[in-house]
């Protein structure tokens, strides 16, 4: 298990959200509530799409067990989906 992988996922998701929602990445602390960041619904769709593409996963948006309230929820959920699928980000290179 890679300790670095989790922080890489967190970093990449932060980058995607900041870019798509046009918000300062420093606002994306793990406990940041996504609703408080005023992310437009169209931006959220784009964020989810980009995360799914990056990790070759499907993010269930209507699953009560998969809540997306805080940035931590998103990171934890994506890490869980990656672990289940055994997927690696398309841009990762072997070290």
Token representation of residue 90: 């398309």
Higher model confidence: residue 94 or residue 71?
71
Q: What is the pLDDT of residue 95?
A: 42
Nearest of 75, 94, 61 to residue 15 by alpha carbon: 75
DSSP H or E run through 12: helix 3-21
Which of 22-26, 65-69, 85-89, 90-94 reaches the highest mean pLDDT? 22-26
The CATH number of the domain covering residues in 3-85? 1.10.1200.10
Cα–Cα distances (Å) from 91 to 26, 34, 59, 62, 88, in that order, read: 23, 26, 19, 28, 8
Give the tens place of pLDDT for each residue, 3-49. 445 589 999 999 999 999 999 999 999 999 988 998 888 998 999 99
Tell me if residue 70 falls in helix, strand or coil: strand
For the chain, percent of residues with pLDDT exceeding 70:
84
> CA–CA separation, 10 vs 46, rounded Å?
17
């Amino acid at each position: 298990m890679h300790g670095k992988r989790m922080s890489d996922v967190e970093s990449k998701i932060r980058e995607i959200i900041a870019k798509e929602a046009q918000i300062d990445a420093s606002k994306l602390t793990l406990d940041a509530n996504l609703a408080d960041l005023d992310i437009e619904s169209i931006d959220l769709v784009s964020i989810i799409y980009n995360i799914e593409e990056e990790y070759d996963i499907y993010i269930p948006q209507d699953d009560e067990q998969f809540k997306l309230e805080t940035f931590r929820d998103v990171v934890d959920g994506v890490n869980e989906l990656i672990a289940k699928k055994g997927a690696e980000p398309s841009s990762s290179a072997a070290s």
